[in-house]
Amino acid sequence: MATHSTVRVKSRGGGRGIFCVSESGGVQINSVDLARNGGNAILIENCYNLSIRGGTVNGGGEVRLAARSEFANNRDISITLRVDGTTVRESPCGSNIRWNLSGNARRSIC
C-alpha cells in the first residue's frame, strides 16, 4: 500500500514528467497529464510500491521501467495509463508489475 498520495501530475516539455529512482517508492499518483517530455515521460528505475492510477502520456520520451544492477529491481508497480505517440518499455522484467494500458503506444513489456 502506498504511503504517500499525489492527486495529479501535469508536465509539458522538460526532461521528464515523473521519475522514481534508486529504491524510492511508496507513492500513489491518482492522475497524470504528460506531453512532449524529453528523455522519458516516465522513468521508474529500481523502485517499489508505486501506483499510477490513470491519465495520459502524449508524445515525447518513452514510459520506461528500468533497473541498474547496484539496486534491487522494480517491484510492486501498478500503472494504468493511456499512452499515445511514444513507447512503453520494461527492461529488465520486474516483480509484481501490473500494466493496464490503452492508446497507440508501441509496447515492449513483460
pTM listed for this prediction = 0.91
Percent of the chain exceeding pLDDT 90 equals 75
CA dist., res. 92 & res. 71, Å (int): 13
The string of pLDDT tens digits covering residues 70-80 is 999 999 999 99
Say yes or no to pLDDT of 2 above 70.
no
Read out DSSP for 49-86? EEEE-SEEEESSSEEEEE--TTSPPPEEEEEEEEEESS
The string of pLDDT tens digits covering residues 5-30 is 667 899 998 888 899 988 888 899 99
Say yes or no to pLDDT of 1 above 70.
no
The string of pLDDT tens digits covering residues 37-49 is 988 999 999 999 9
Positive or negative, the CA dihedral 23, 51, 65, 33 is negative
Taking alpha carbons only, the member of 72, 17, 15, 80 closest to residue 47 is 72
Q: What is the mean pLDDT of residues 88-96?
A: 97
Say yes or no to pLDDT of 92 above 80.
yes
CA dist., res. 45 & res. 90, Å (int): 10
CA dist., res. 66 & res. 73, Å (int): 8
